[in-house]
Chain A
Amino acid sequence: MALKLTSAEFEVVRDKERCIACFACARQCAFDTHTDNDGVVESDSRLCVGCHRCEVLCPTGALKIVQKERLIKENSNWQSSSFLAIQKQSEAGGIVLAAMGTDRPYTIYWDHLLLNAAQVTNPSIDPLREPMELRTYLGRKPVSFQDEGELSPQLRLEMPVLFSAMSYGSISLNTCRSLAWASRAAGTYWNTGEGGLPQELYAYNDRAICQVASGRFGVSPEYLEQAAALEIKIGQGAKPGIGGHLPGEKVTVEISATRMIPEGTDAISPAPHHDIYSIEDLKQLIFALKEATEYRKPVAVKIAAVHNIAAIASGAVRAGADIVCIDGIRGGTGAAPLVIRDNVGIPVELALAAVDNRLRQEGIRPQASIVVAGSIRSSADVVKAIALGADAVYIGTAALVALGCHICQKCYTGKCNWGIATQDPYLTKRLNPEVGARRLTNLLRAWKMEIKEMLGGMGINALESLRGNREQLRAVGLTEKEMEILGVKHAGEGW
């Protein structure tokens, strides 16, 4: 084999004094960075992906994983990412894969928005003593008080946070279990992604949002019957406009049963739904799903945040979507072409503001709930999203971090050392679903309390009063145009 020219991104630093040659690192690393060479631990830094598993699990603290500051001599034009991509492409002749959300330094608008608090002229509320209402219903609401007839089906959430779509295949069954158990415990929902619903998780069907994507994997009447809600996946923030391929080697017996395709075959999700080329076609699929489930379940439409998002979202609402999900450019993925992940789409904050504005202007905002995704990292991001107009948020990466993920962004290799994005039984057993569910439940509990604190500080005792309440937000370090799109004033401006 020819000499590999690919640069090492990390350096494994081993404190020889502390190392007791227990080989825990060698056992933990699925990338074979550490090996047992006749009783001597050897490390090949070039194989390290920076997941920090060995560092965290080293019993004597002998290991340190250090990211190299530069792969080449200083050069403002040639950043490591473009340099590495060319190295990989020239070696393999293929599309460079990436995973999770983009790590490029695009403006994170959450970090340029500040929340308000009550001082003197209105009292703040102590959430430890007074009731605070975070319960959220997702679905189509009556447009006017005169609106009679049956209320559309709703999803009831105890807090405005759901787990975003991650398919069984991209993540392990234990990870799915953790999400499903935690959803029930916390009164929220998890999302099957487009890989079908594993039979073992039918017990958690009342908490499952089941996706219908372009590949229609696992979509049977039974699957539709199981779901608490259905979500038509049009696009994903990490890869707007393109489909997905689960390579044959990842289609194991279990995955094949859930996706309902033969073992070892490529699972191809085409870029478009073949039956959707227009808003009218989207309406047809929405109503096909409603007919098939006798109008008992909300139907959501998930779209990636792209340039014309406001008009597209309006079309989706008019087509009958009960929930519109918007996934921004920083949204995660199990695998996407690097070039797409890092260059296509727009930030979810701008998309959310544009969509909420547009739906209000058109007088159709109550007809659908808005759920946003695409990097919600903290309870503050949740509160800001609600103030910008969202009904709820999806979290993916944040949930995986709660399960141990260290964001090394190598999900597409299927060798996740944290036992999350893998199907290897040796690795998946590292994640105990009971522990996982507890950690996720803890995370949601903590966020819930933090959200209540922030709300109380603003003198608001119900999330509903914050929804679309952009007066509670002020911008720092944004241009006039950005503030215009976000519909917020600059810090320093009063009411």
Chain B
Amino acid sequence: MVEIDASNLTHRALNDNLRRAIISGNKEVRLKNVLGQRFIAAGFRYRVRIEIDGIAGNDLAVFMDGPEIYLHGNGEDGVGNTISGGKITIFGDSGDLLGHSARGGKIFVRGDIGWRGGIHAKSYQNKLPVIIVGGRAGDYLGEYLSGGLIIVLGIPEDSRPLVGKFLGTGMHGGTIYLRGSVPEHFLGKEVNEASFNDNDAALIKPYLAEFCQDFGFDFSETMRVPFRKLVSQTSRPYGRLYAY
């Protein structure tokens, strides 16, 4: 595995070095001493594994479609912004706007995330964005959600709320699975609870198994607590808005 020392590199130089390392044939690259550089792997379409040591700046993996990123530290805002594919695994916490407008790919966070996680994520054909949060999520999780899966596990279990308020506000597609409960008044007005059945379990199990493997969580323990399933009331929120 080739290593790049990110100390004192601008985001442009960092991405240039990273791109060169990948083009010259490395399938695994490690970025050391990353300290807030933005846009890491922006728009990358390579099949490559990128390990990051440190704190990745805003818009990590923005527009990305392909690489697998393992961030050994915290993410900041806009992780996986408008991502089309690939995987981002964060061993710490992450900030606001995680997976904004994601159209595919997996974003796994071991810890907590900030506000507006998974906002306006979409699915299309065989593309399905999957966001799994090991800890807790802030307000407006799944706002405008139009496709994809958002799963919040709430580990470790304690008295703190699993998610913030205005959950799924403006949601018109996709599914949110919560491992545990949430106060009724936290739900956005476009959100309905649906029964969690075997199909749901079959759908999320492989992703959760992968998640547990990445972070060393106990899979059966993770599945022990019942899940709540939340869906949108309509896929046509603007069906009767206009006069023609």
Contact = CB atoms under 8 A, between A and B. Distances in A.
B244 A97 contact: yes
A223 to B, nearest CB: 9
Given A247-B238, A274-B97, A288-B39, A221 B65 contact: yes
A266 B236 contact: yes
B147 A262 contact: yes
A17 interface: no
A334 to B, nearest CB: 13
Interface centre among A222, A224, A287 (most CB of B within 10 A): A287
Nearest to B124: A260
A318 interface: no
Contacts of A260: 103, 122, 124, 127
A287 B39 contact: yes
A33 interface: no
Contacts of A412: 242, 244
B235 A265 contact: yes
B100 A274 contact: yes
Interface residues of A, number: 43
B19 to A, nearest CB: 8
Contact of B243 (A91, A215, A219): A91
Say what secondary structure dominates the interface of chain A: mixed
A275 B236 contact: no
Interface centre among A219, A256, A262, A291 (most CB of B within 10 A): A291
B78 interface: yes
A446 interface: no
A94 B103 contact: no
Nearest to A293: B43
Given A88-B244, A97-B242, A291-B12, A265 B81 contact: no
A262 B119 contact: no
A275 B79 CA distance: 11
B30 interface: no
Interface in B61-108: 62-65, 77-78, 81-82, 84, 97, 100-101, 103
Interface residues of B, number: 48
A130 to B, nearest CB: 45
Nearest to A246: B238
Interface string B12-28: 10010001000000000
B42 interface: yes
B172 interface: yes
A68 B62 CA distance: 54
Contacts of B64: 221
Given A95-B243, A216-B82, A275-B81, A266 B172 contact: yes
B63 A219 contact: yes
Contacts of A413: 244
Given A268-B146, A288-B39, A245 B241 contact: yes
Interface in B230-244: 235-244
Contact of A275 (B19, B43, B97): B97
Interface in B2-41: 11-12, 15, 19, 38-39
Contacts of A337: 242
Given A220-B65, A221-B65, A274 B43 contact: no
Contacts of A295: 12
Nearest to A287: B39
Given A260-B122, A293-B43, A412-B242, 8 more contacts: A92-B244, A95-B243, A247-B242, A248-B236, A265-B236, A270-B144, A284-B78, A292-B62
Interface of A: 88-89, 91-97, 215-216, 219-222, 224-225, 245, 247-248, 256, 260-262, 264-266, 268, 270, 274-275, 284, 287-289, 291-295, 337, 412-413
Interface of B: 11-12, 15, 19, 38-39, 42-45, 58-59, 62-65, 77-78, 81-82, 84, 97, 100-101, 103, 116, 119-120, 122-124, 127, 143-144, 146-147, 172-173, 235-244
**Top 5 A-B residue pairs of the complex, sorted by shortest distance between their CB atoms:** A292-B43, A92-B243, A291-B42, A216-B101, A291-B39
25 contacts: A88-B244, A89-B243, A92-B244, A97-B244, A219-B101, A220-B65, A221-B43, A221-B64, A260-B103, A260-B124, A262-B123, A266-B238, A268-B146, A268-B172, A274-B143, A275-B59, A275-B81, A275-B97, A284-B58, A288-B38, A288-B62, A289-B63, A291-B12, A291-B15, A292-B39
